[in-house]
Amino acid sequence: MTSSKQAIVRCQATPLSGVVTVPGDKSISHRAVMLAALAEGASTIRNWLPAGDTLATLDIVRALGVAVEVDKRTSHSWDLRVEGRGLHGLRKPGGPLDCRNAGTAIRLLAGIMSGQHFPSVLDGSEQLRKRPMGRVTEPLRLLGADIKSEEGRAPLTIRPAALHGIEYKMNVASAQVKSSILLAGLYTDDAMRVYQPGPARDHTERLLMAMGTIISPSQDGWVTLGDAPPGGRRLLPLNMTVPGDFSSAAFPMVAAAIVPGSQITIRQVGVNGTRIGLLEMLRSMGADITISNQQVTGGELIADLTVTYSALQASDVGGPTVVKAIDELPVWAVAATQASGSSTVRDAAELRVKEVDRIAVLAEELRRMGVAMDEHDDGFTIHGLTPLQGNTVDSHDDHRLGMALAVAGLAAEGTTIVNDAACMADSFPGFVETMQRLGASIEWAATS
Ligand code: S3P
């Protein structure tokens, strides 16, 4: 990759073909390194994702006194050996902990840092400072946490406090909020119950279970962390392989689904049921996707996904499927531009508080490519089928928006330039190179 902030996507309507893997799952990579730091003993984490967001978490864990040995197997897949210090063994950091652009890092760490015997400050980029933190600080305060923030935004200043179990009903189906509460729950003696109004991803629960914690997965929406055992809570070390990130696989999947003549296979992708809403949505539009070689690794289901181009029809989406596809809606919108008829997504107001307001920014950029798109408070409508026109567009420093626009560029007539594209590496280092391996006409170019 060049150090440039600009990528040029040339689209010659080349069919995509071949077999690739995508880097490790971002959500699992954040959680695995955080939890391994709190385990008693050394954990091994293979295929860990070295992306902008997860590297922020790795640096923070090190700043908390945790030794991590890294084997950089490839630039997109690292193996880590993390010397866990136990739940109470972290060390006071020398300064504020910089979560950069990573919402998952700051919200999950808010839970962990609330239980420490030393004070800490969690901060991040200007972009992160705009995102709502009240959704974690409010429940954490109910647990007894001492957290200060200005208008519910980062920086978060956390002081030592005694925590106790609570029963908490989330009003948004957020895995980050659920995880933050459960992680703070590791510092309570009594049980913790969290209600999720939709199927938020459950990687924290799965990892905690693998580490010997008694946790019962969602029953009627309630997730329960049991009482501490006699002698206190302890986490066993991890020995795991991180599955390929379904959210990264989403980009080549949609590209193959909309570029005529394509057929690709993406190997060893995590297909946890709380993550694959996009697969259901694309299939209901008529996409040809087959799942093979299913296996379980580290408590997570993985599979190979083969996508073959076929004509798409419009389809509406709302409710629980949206929760399972929340990060994929920008690239799903690109698929909807190539479906005949109007496709509407509802119940997706959360898109407005992601890295950027993904509804407004997606509409602004897709319109530059000739798309007819209406905005709703909680979603949008795309009027297909639109012949996409290449143009200069901008990621707004949002990795998923940048990659969704690049995929649109691969189906467009003429050349598309995605400005400010370095952020793609926040979740998918090697995105451009992976698409090149599939025969896509896409390349990095220097900023003029
Ligand atoms: C994530 C949860 C989701 C998702 C984000 C990663 C996680 O956010 O959008 O990219 O790792 O827990 P919310 O929990 O806020 O919906």
| Contact yes or no for 207/238 (Cβ under 8 A) | yes
- SS3 of 237-262: the string is CCEEECCECHHHHHHHHHHHHHCCCC
Query: Cα(4) to centroid of ligand 1, in Å?
Result: 28
Residue 169 CA to residue 266 CA, distance in Å, equals 37
Residue 320 CA to residue 182 CA, distance in Å, equals 22
CA 296 to chain centre: 20
Residue nearest to atom 11 of ligand 1 (CA): 27
Q: Which atom of ligand 1 is nearest to the CA of 135?
A: 15
Among 246, 202, 193, 265, residue whose Cα is nearest residue 438: 265
What length is written for the chain? 448
Query: Cα(176) to centroid of ligand 1, in Å?
Result: 5
Query: Cα(341) to centroid of ligand 1, in Å?
Result: 30
Q: Which atom of ligand 1 is nearest to the CA of 27?
A: 11
Looking at residue 298, its pLDDT comes to 78
pLDDT of 114-139, one tens digit each?
999 999 999 999 999 999 999 999 99
Task: Write the CB contacts of 42 (distance below 8 Å, at least 6 apart in sequence).
Answer: 81, 82, 83, 84, 237
CA 265 to chain centre: 21
Is the beta carbon of 355 within 6 A of some atom in ligand 1? no
Looking at residue 115, its pLDDT comes to 98
Burial of 316 (0-12, 13-18, 19+ CB in 10 A): middle
Q: Which domains, from first to last, does the chain contain?
A: 8-24+244-445 (3.65.10.10), 26-241 (3.65.10.10)
In 10 A of CB 212, how many CB atoms?
A: 14
Region of 382 on the Ramachandran plot (φ > 0 left; ψ -120 to 50 alpha; else beta): beta
Is the beta carbon of 176 within 6 A of some atom in ligand 1? yes
pLDDT of 334-358, one tens digit each?
999 999 999 999 999 999 999 999 9
Residue 222 CA to residue 141 CA, distance in Å, equals 20
Region of 136 on the Ramachandran plot (φ > 0 left; ψ -120 to 50 alpha; else beta): alpha
Q: Which amino acid is at 133?
A: M
Looking at residue 1, its pLDDT comes to 39
327: annotated active-site residue: yes
- pLDDT, tens digit only, all 448 positions of the chain: 334 556 666 666 689 999 999 999 999 999 999 999 999 999 999 999 999 999 999 999 999 999 999 999 999 999 999 999 999 999 999 999 999 999 999 999 999 999 999 999 999 999 999 999 999 999 999 999 999 999 999 999 999 999 999 999 999 999 999 999 999 999 999 999 999 999 999 999 999 999 999 998 778 999 999 999 999 999 999 999 999 999 999 999 999 999 999 999 999 999 999 999 999 999 999 999 999 999 998 789 999 999 999 999 999 999 999 999 999 999 999 999 999 999 999 999 999 999 999 999 999 999 999 999 999 999 999 999 999 999 999 999 999 999 999 999 999 999 999 999 999 999 999 999 999 999 999 999 876 5
Q: Which amino acid is at 157?
A: T
| Contact yes or no for 116/126 (Cβ under 8 A) | no
Q: Give the residues across from 120 on adjacent strands.
A: 158
Kindly name the residue from 53, 304, 327, 394 that is annotated as catalytic. 327
Query: Cα(418) to centroid of ligand 1, in Å?
Result: 25
| Contact yes or no for 7/442 (Cβ under 8 A) | yes
Is the beta carbon of 322 within 6 A of some atom in ligand 1? no
Among 417, 375, 372, residue whose Cα is nearest residue 395: 417
| Contact yes or no for 103/131 (Cβ under 8 A) | yes
Looking at residue 217, its pLDDT comes to 79
Is the beta carbon of 104 within 6 A of some atom in ligand 1? yes
DSSP 8-state assignment for residue 414? S
| Contact yes or no for 8/443 (Cβ under 8 A) | yes
Is the beta carbon of 272 within 6 A of some atom in ligand 1? no
Is the beta carbon of 196 within 6 A of some atom in ligand 1? no
Is the beta carbon of 348 within 6 A of some atom in ligand 1? no
Looking at residue 10, its pLDDT comes to 65
Residue 48 CA to residue 72 CA, distance in Å, equals 10
At 316, list the tokens. Answer: 């509406």
Query: Cα(407) to centroid of ligand 1, in Å?
Result: 22
Residue nearest to atom 15 of ligand 1 (CA): 174
Burial of 446 (0-12, 13-18, 19+ CB in 10 A): exposed
The pTM of the full predicted model, rounded to 2 decimals, is 0.97
Query: Cα(229) to centroid of ligand 1, in Å?
Result: 30
Among 87, 97, 152, residue whose Cα is nearest residue 121: 97
Looking at residue 2, its pLDDT comes to 39
Is the beta carbon of 274 within 6 A of some atom in ligand 1? no
